Amino acid sequence: EVQLVESGGGLIQPGGSLRLSCAASGFTVVNRDFMSWVRQAPGKGLEWVSGVDSGGGTYYANSVKGRFTIFRDNSENTVFLQMNSLRVEDTAVYYCARDYALDVWGQGTTVTVSS
């Protein structure tokens, strides 16, 4: 069964850092063209955050550029999102999703940035 499982969310103070993980099963991340992170703030819509392509190219929303870093560990079949300098407005459920058109999604992990 193709599955994505996110982890690493939690409560963090403004300015802090968190690393989210997205563990894939049923397929290998290295063989997929693109993997993304998408977030949803409480009561709001979906916001694409970041993506990594098969060549290791990385892409970011303007709102997180310079603060977040996406990377893959092919040996662990996992995609990570390193989040630094967190802000209150980064509070959201974070989902990872597969391929250019986001065909498979994880269940999400909740990040709360608050003092």
Partner 1 sequence: DIQMTQSPSSLSASVGDRVIITCRASQGIKNDLAWFQQKPGKAPRRLIYAISSLQSGVPSRFSGSGSGTEFTLTISSLQPEDFATYYCLQHNSHPRTFGQGTKVEIK
Which one of 27, 82, 91, 105 is in contact with partner 1 (CB under 8 A)?
A: 105
Task: Please report which helix (H) or strand (E) contains residue 89, including its range.
Answer: none
Tell me: does residue 101 bind partner 1 (CB under 8 A): yes
Binding string to partner 1 for residues 10 to 49, with x set by CB under 8 A, is what?
A: --------------------------x-x------xxxx-
How far is 22 from 39, CA to CA, in rounded Å?
13
Tell me: does residue 95 bind partner 1 (CB under 8 A): yes
Among 64, 7, 74, residue whose Cα is nearest residue 35: 74
